[in-house]
């Protein structure tokens, strides 16, 4: 009999675990310990002392989980591990050290020995040298735990049910060892004539370190390693890193070059079979968490089985509880692995301190604040460096002792100097009368300016009546618009330290629709106006079909933009942003999904960019040279056949050459059937790439969630400004609150000066810096 659908038992007594790795053995230990009446058999193809690889790493937090789950295993691991706090970064001939990270390493063989003997002690039967395949018998298993690793046979056998996705990543790596004991977790970045090599290394026992060598596929091929045997690889690594290894040998153990497979499964359980560990999911070794995930799966599965007597329910509950946690970690691992795939982007371009900060915060899970808690000295160095750069860039003086957090440093765009790096994102209010902004807009934008942001952007403001999204959209096409906007601009300039920019747009095929709260992107029930776009493709199948623009339409739209920007200048705006994003008119030319033209405005990227660039050039010529221009881009359409990030880099490069000062990097909203990948900072990697590869300043937007996120993004060089939309709807004083929390004094308007001495927690306050000082010196807070 083979593994297959089995009846569900009310009580799980007979368990077969396939694979004798950490997931399987740890699950067997925890389950047998909780109920010795279970019969648990582990089947492993290898012999007990066969192991491949060298060491594994756990964070202090992971070890705490192990202590709670089984103190005996934890104690044995703790006796065997090497602990360290530091991370050393070898970069351009320097070694930068960051402390406070708390990791432990131990040999994989030692870990397996500990788990094997603990399992045996509890009465788990492990059958080594047993290959599980179609012919293996399972007569009585109530539960089959498929922990057969990254190449899982069970996953393959039941692929129809688990629906696995395997994403083979493009870098190459090899798992080596060395007798040199690295004093810290060590990253080495080293260039030779073939390219850039990355090393991830750590000591895991006396006289031994893990040494993982990684490079891009091109570098690997140029070095001839695609044809190398194990001994050639060892000789290559030993020669290249002779200095860092102090002449110690490099060791092999089935050290074959591989690509990393990111494994996901749509389902982790089928009938009485459950996938755990690498069989279910992998997380890149650069966050060192594969074994952690495997063992934490075991903890969660054991808990679910204890909570539910029915195996089917237990497995469903296990998956429901565990999946979000694993997916969050996989997202972090993905961002981390991409950093290592793209290290060439930063190497040699970033100064050492910023390179180190970028590396340490690469997964976006470690923020400026987390890092400060671990290594305050490093973060102070980063902040000082950042403040100095800001001071040079703006020609203003920025405090150096102590330096402000990066978000409170100034930033210059042409003659415009912003007091800080927080931007209120453009947000349609759908509350204008024939394009004229009113009291709502004054209060909406005015309160956010008083709230402390460095730059406040108007909502998408349309260059003609027919260019509006909805009847409630603001415009810049009638003389009274100048007066109405000037009232708002004057308020912002007169009553706050903020500057104000206007986002100019034409809605294209997404026009003539309802207000947000009446049905976003839904066509108006009545009073429609006719639409234009790059091609005659409706947004929804039932939306109005736009007319494909001819040259006359293009001239008209270009001139509308020019008229609007002249009016914006009269109204006193400090910056103008052109909307090339979210599927509106100019974006409809950029995306191959919405531009099917066969003239010189369709086809290649150069052609698709032709009309938007023509509008940009005309606006740039009409807008004062001292005032900056921004363009909001959708960096990807999140749809096959649509605009990709590489295209956005090309567009940004062209914009820079044509005098654009900054790109506001958004994404999507081109087509309704997009497949976006949302999550914290979901668009920041796009900004990072555009900033470095196109060589232009960027703003990042999209779920920038905290003050710490803003500081991290800026310090790592992922963007120059951070743009927040919904956070500002929730809290117009977001920046003021950020300032107070970080001990920065933002000047208050005269009308509000009394608040400077007010503490929301009650009692008098002498401002955040004074408050912090008094916390540090208990007893000094006087009357
Ligand atoms: C280069 C590299 C570095 C890594 N570094 C770290 C690190 O620092 N820290 C960390 O936590 N993780 C690290 N990992 C990941 C880690 O090795 C795995 O994530 C972890 O071992 C997963 O445990 P597992 O029990 O799911 O699978 P495995 O440890 O792979 O165990 C699966 C077992 O199943 C057996 N098996 C497979 N098929 C069959 C079959 N048909 N019949 C019988 N037996 C079978 C295999 O022999 C194996 O023993 C690294 C991985 C790589 C590739
Ligand atoms: C109510 C609302 C209106 C918006 N209007 C615009 C707009 O006019 N122009 C624009 O480019 N983006 C607009 N957006 C998108 C935001 O500017 C921003 O890119 C998006 O909300 C993601 O940022 P967040 O996660 O900080 O909210 C709008 C978003 C919201 C919530």
Which of 46, 56, 150, 151 has most ligand 1 atoms within 8 Å of CB, for mutation? Answer: 56
Q: Residue 607 and residue 604: Cα distance in Å, rounded?
A: 5
Q: Whose CA is nearest to atom 1 of ligand 2?
A: 427
Collapse the DSSP code of 216 into the 3-class scheme (helix H, G, I; strand E, B; otherwise coil) and give the result: coil
3-state secondary structure 404-431: CCHHHCCEEECCEEECCCEEECCCCCCC
Ligand 2 midpoint to CA 358 (Å) = 27
**Residue 641 CB: number of other CB atoms within 10 A?**
10
Collapse the DSSP code of 286 into the 3-class scheme (helix H, G, I; strand E, B; otherwise coil) and give the result: helix
Cβ 45 vs Cβ 129: under 8 Å: yes
Q: Is 145 in the pocket of ligand 1 (CB under 6 A)?
A: no
Ligand 1 midpoint to CA 236 (Å) = 26
Ligand 1 midpoint to CA 255 (Å) = 15
Count CA atoms within 13 Å of residue 157 on its CB side. Answer: 19
> Catalytic residue numbers?
584
Ligand with the closest atom to the CA of 729:
2
| Residue 272 reports pLDDT greater than 70 | yes
Cβ 482 vs Cβ 571: under 8 Å: yes
Q: Residue 369 and residue 125: Cα distance in Å, rounded?
A: 47
Q: Residue 643 and residue 655: Cα distance in Å, rounded?
A: 16
Q: Whose CA is nearest to atom 50 of ligand 1?
A: 285
Collapse the DSSP code of 234 into the 3-class scheme (helix H, G, I; strand E, B; otherwise coil) and give the result: helix
Q: Whose CA is nearest to atom 5 of ligand 1?
A: 285
Ligand 1 midpoint to CA 452 (Å) = 51
Cβ 312 vs Cβ 197: under 8 Å: no
Closest ligand 2 atom number to CA of residue 728: 26
DSSP structure string for 356-413? HHHHHTTTSSS-HHHHHHH-HHHHHHHHHHHHHHHHHHHTS----SSPPPGGGS-EEE
Q: Residue 190 and residue 239: Cα distance in Å, rounded?
A: 12
Cβ 427 vs Cβ 725: under 8 Å: yes
Q: Which helix (H) or strand (E) segment is 111 a member of?
A: helix 108-122
Q: What is the pLDDT of residues 187-242, one digit of tens each?
A: 999 999 999 999 999 999 889 999 999 999 999 999 999 999 999 999 999 999 99
CA angle 586, 702, 519 (to 5 degrees): 65
Instruction: Indicate the pairing of strand 164-168 with strand 208-215.
Output: unpaired
| Residue 96 reports pLDDT greater than 70 | yes
Cβ 274 vs Cβ 315: under 8 Å: yes
Ligand 2 midpoint to CA 429 (Å) = 10
Which of 278, 287, 333 has most ligand 1 atoms within 8 Å of CB, for mutation? Answer: 278
- Give the contacts of 331 (CB within 8 A, at least 6 positions apart): 679
Q: Whose CA is nearest to atom 45 of ligand 1?
A: 19
Give residue 469's pLDDT band: very low, low, confident or very high (50, 70, 90): very high
Which of 44-58, 110-124, 286-300 is predicted with the least confidence, judged by mean pLDDT? 44-58
Q: What is the pLDDT of residues 698-735, one digit of tens each?
A: 999 999 989 999 999 999 999 999 999 999 999 999 99
Q: What's phi and psi for 236, nearest 5 deg?
A: -65, -50
Global pTM value: 0.91
Task: Indicate if the alpha-carbon torsion angle 193, 195, 196, 198 is positive or negative.
Answer: negative
Q: Which helix (H) or strand (E) segment is 330 a member of?
A: helix 311-341
Q: Whose CA is nearest to atom 31 of ligand 2?
A: 726
Q: Whose CA is nearest to atom 6 of ligand 2?
A: 427
Ligand with the closest atom to the CA of 684:
2
**Residue 197 CB: number of other CB atoms within 10 A?**
22
Give residue 771's pLDDT band: very low, low, confident or very high (50, 70, 90): very low
Q: Which pLDDT score, from 0 to 100, does residue 679 have? A: 83
Q: What's phi and psi for 588, nearest 5 deg?
A: -65, -25
Q: What percent of the chain has pLDDT over 90?
A: 87
Q: What is the pLDDT of residues 368-427, one digit of tens each?
A: 999 999 999 999 999 999 999 999 999 999 988 899 999 999 999 999 999 999 999 999
How is residue 233 annotated by DSSP?
Answer: H
C-alpha to C-alpha distances, 331 to 306, 334, 336, 636, 682, nearest whole angstrom: 29, 5, 9, 18, 10
Q: Which pLDDT score, from 0 to 100, does residue 60 have? A: 87
Burial (CB count <10 Å: 0-12, 13-18, 19+), residue 69: buried
Q: What is the pLDDT of residues 415-462, one digit of tens each?
A: 999 999 999 999 999 999 999 999 999 999 999 999 999 999 999 999
How is residue 277 annotated by DSSP?
Answer: G
**Residue 202 CB: number of other CB atoms within 10 A?**
26
Task: Indicate if the alpha-carbon torsion angle 56, 60, 61, 67 is positive or negative.
Answer: positive
- Compute the mean pLDDT over every residue in the chain, rounded to the nearest whole number: 93
| Residue 63 reports pLDDT greater than 70 | yes
Q: Is 15 in the pocket of ligand 1 (CB under 6 A)?
A: no
Ligand 2 midpoint to CA 425 (Å) = 6
Alpha helices in 426-515 (DSSP H): 439-450, 479-495
| Residue 778 reports pLDDT greater than 50 | no
Ligand 1 midpoint to CA 40 (Å) = 20
Nearest to 728 by CA among 418, 489, 456, 469: 456
Q: Residue 474 and residue 564: Cα distance in Å, rounded?
A: 12
Q: Which pLDDT score, from 0 to 100, does residue 217 have? A: 98
Q: Which pLDDT score, from 0 to 100, does residue 50 have? A: 80
Q: Which pLDDT score, from 0 to 100, does residue 774 have? A: 30
How far is residue 195 CA from its own chain's centroid? 26
| Residue 603 reports pLDDT greater than 60 | yes
Q: Which pLDDT score, from 0 to 100, does residue 678 have? A: 86
Closest ligand 2 atom number to CA of residue 683: 22
How is residue 278 annotated by DSSP?
Answer: G
- Please tell me the total number of residues recorded for the chain in this structure: 783
Task: Indicate if the alpha-carbon torsion angle 578, 582, 585, 589 is positive or negative.
Answer: positive
Put residue 591 in one of left, alpha, beta given phi > 0 → left and psi -120 to 50 → alpha: beta
Q: Which pLDDT score, from 0 to 100, does residue 754 have? A: 87
Ligand 2 midpoint to CA 10 (Å) = 51
Q: Which pLDDT score, from 0 to 100, does residue 139 have? A: 55
Q: What is the pLDDT of residues 275-298, one digit of tens each?
A: 999 999 999 999 877 999 999 999
Q: Which pLDDT score, from 0 to 100, does residue 135 have? A: 64
**Residue 688 CB: number of other CB atoms within 10 A?**
26
Give the residues across from 210 on adjacent strands: 177, 202
Nearest to 663 by CA among 653, 652, 654: 652
Which of 148, 158, 171, 322 has most ligand 1 atoms within 8 Å of CB, for mutation? Answer: 148
Q: What is the pLDDT of residues 133-179, one digit of tens each?
A: 876 666 568 999 999 999 999 999 999 999 999 999 999 999 999 99
Closest ligand 1 atom number to CA of residue 289: 11
Which of 5-14, 160-169, 636-645 is predicted with the least confidence, judged by mean pLDDT? 5-14
Count CA atoms within 13 Å of residue 756 on its CB side. Answer: 13
Give the residues across from 45 on adjacent strands: none
Q: Is 639 in the pocket of ligand 1 (CB under 6 A)?
A: no
Q: Is 44 in the pocket of ligand 1 (CB under 6 A)?
A: yes
Q: Is 289 in the pocket of ligand 1 (CB under 6 A)?
A: yes
Q: Residue 357 and residue 386: Cα distance in Å, rounded?
A: 11
Q: Whose CA is nearest to atom 11 of ligand 1?
A: 291
Q: Residue 557 and residue 505: Cα distance in Å, rounded?
A: 10
Q: Which pLDDT score, from 0 to 100, does residue 305 have? A: 94
What does the CA dihedral 59, 62, 67, 73 come to, rounded to 10 degrees?
-80
Q: Is 437 in the pocket of ligand 1 (CB under 6 A)?
A: no
Q: Which pLDDT score, from 0 to 100, does residue 13 have? A: 84
How is residue 576 annotated by DSSP?
Answer: E
Nearest to 730 by CA among 493, 487, 490, 424: 424
| Residue 344 reports pLDDT greater than 80 | yes
Ligand 2 midpoint to CA 737 (Å) = 21
Closest ligand 2 atom number to CA of residue 726: 27
Nearest to 417 by CA among 566, 570, 616, 575: 575
Q: Which pLDDT score, from 0 to 100, does residue 11 have? A: 57
Q: What percent of the chain has pLDDT over 70?
A: 95
Q: Is 46 in the pocket of ligand 1 (CB under 6 A)?
A: yes
Q: Is 29 in the pocket of ligand 1 (CB under 6 A)?
A: no
Q: Which helix (H) or strand (E) segment is 662 a member of?
A: strand 662-666
Q: Is 56 in the pocket of ligand 1 (CB under 6 A)?
A: yes
């Amino acid at each position: 009999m083979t593994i297959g659908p089995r009846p569900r038992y009310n009580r799980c007594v007979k368990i077969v675990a396939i694979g004798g790795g950490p997931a399987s053995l740890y699950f067997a230990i925890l389950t047998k310990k909780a109920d010795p009446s279970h019969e648990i058999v582990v089947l492993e193809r290898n012999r007990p002392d066969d192991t491949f690889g060298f060491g594994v790493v756990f964070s202090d937090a992971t070890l705490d989980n192990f202590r709670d789950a089984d103190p005996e295993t934890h104690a044995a691991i703790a006796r065997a591990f090497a602990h360290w706090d530091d991370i050393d970064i070898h970069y351009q001939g320097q070694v930068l050290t960051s402390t406070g990270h708390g990791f432990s390493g131990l040999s994989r063989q030692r870990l397996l020995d500990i788990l094997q003997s603990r399992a045996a002690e509890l009465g788990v039967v492990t059958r080594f040298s047993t290959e599980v395949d179609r012919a293996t018998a399972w007569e009585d298993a109530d539960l089959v735990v498929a922990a057969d690793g990254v190449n899982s046979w069970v996953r393959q056998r039941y692929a129809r049910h688990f629906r696995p996705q395997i994403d083979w990543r493009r870098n190459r790596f090899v798992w080596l060892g060395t007798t040199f004991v690295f004093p810290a977790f060590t990253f080495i970045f080293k260039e030779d004539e073939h390219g850039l090599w990355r090393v991830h290394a750590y000591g895991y026992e006396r006289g031994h370190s893990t040494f993982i060598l990684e490079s891009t596929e091109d570098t690997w091929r140029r070095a001839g390693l695609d044809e190398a045997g194990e001994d050639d690889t060892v000789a290559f690594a030993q020669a290249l890193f002779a200095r860092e290894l102090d002449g110690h040998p490099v060791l092999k153990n089935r050290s074959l070059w591989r690509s990393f497979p990111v494994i996901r499964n749509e389902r982790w359980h089928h009938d009485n079979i459950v996938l755990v560990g690498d069989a279910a999911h992998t997380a890149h070794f650069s966050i060192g968490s594969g074994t952690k995930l495997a063992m934490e799966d075991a903890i969660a599965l054991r808990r679910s089985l204890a909570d539910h007597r029915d195996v089917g329910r237990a497995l469903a509950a296990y998956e429901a509880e565990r999946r979000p946690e694993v997916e969050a970690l996989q997202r972090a691992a993905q961002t981390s692995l991409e950093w290592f795939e793209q290290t060439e982007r930063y190497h040699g371009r970033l100064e050492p301190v910023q390179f180190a900060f970028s590396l340490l915060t690469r997964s976006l899970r470690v923020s400026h604040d987390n890092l400060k808690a671990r290594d305050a000295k490093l973060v102070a160095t980063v902040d000082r460096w950042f403040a100095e750069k800001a001071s040079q860039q703006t020609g203003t003086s920025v405090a150096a002792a102590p330096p402000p957090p990066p978000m409170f440093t100034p930033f210059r765009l042409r003659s415009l100097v912003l007091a800080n790096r927080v931007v209120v994102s453009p947000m349609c209010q759908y509350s204008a009368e024939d394009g004229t902004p009113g009291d709502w807009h004054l209060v909406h934008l005015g309160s956010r300016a008083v709230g402390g942001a460095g730059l406040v952007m108007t909502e998408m403001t349309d260059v003609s009546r027919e260019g509006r999204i909805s009847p409630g959209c603001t415009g810049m096409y009638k003389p009274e618009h100048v007066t109405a906007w000037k009232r708002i601009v004057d308020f912002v300039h007169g009553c706050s330290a903020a500057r104000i920019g206007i986002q100019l747009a034409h809605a294209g095929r997404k026009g003539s629709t309802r207000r947000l709260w009446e049905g976003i992107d839904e066509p108006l029930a009545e009073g429609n106006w006719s639409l234009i776009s790059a091609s005659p493709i409706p947004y929804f199948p039932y939306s109005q079909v736009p007319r494909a623009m001819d040259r006359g339409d293009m001239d008209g739209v270009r001139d509308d933009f020019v008229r609007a920007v002249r009016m914006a200048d009269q109204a006193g705006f400090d910056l103008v942003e052109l909307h090339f994003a979210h599927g509106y008119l100019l974006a409809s030319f950029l995306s191959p999904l919405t531009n099917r033209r066969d003239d010189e405005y369709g086809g290649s990227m150069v052609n698709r960019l032709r009309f938007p660039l023509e509008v940009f050039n005309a606006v740039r010529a009409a807008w004062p040279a001292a005032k900056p221009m921004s363009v909001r881009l959708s960096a990807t359409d999140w749809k096959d056949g649509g605009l990709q990030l590489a295209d956005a880099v090309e567009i940004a490069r062209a914009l820079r050459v044509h005098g654009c000062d900054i790109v506001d990097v958004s994404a999507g909203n081109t087509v309704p059937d997009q497949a976006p990948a949302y999550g914290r900072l979901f668009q920041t990697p796009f900004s990072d790439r555009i900033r470095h590869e196109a060589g232009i300043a960027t703003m990042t937007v999209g779920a920038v969630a905290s003050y710490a996120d803003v500081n991290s993004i800026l310090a790592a060089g992922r963007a120059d400004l951070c743009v927040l939309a919904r956070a500002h709807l929730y809290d117009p004083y977001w920046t003021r609150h950020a300032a107070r929390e970080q001990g920065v004094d933002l000047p208050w308007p005269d009308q509000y000066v009394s608040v400077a001495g007010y503490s929301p927690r009650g009692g008098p306050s002498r401002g955040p810096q004074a408050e912090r000082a008094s916390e540090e010196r208990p007893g000094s807070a006087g009357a």
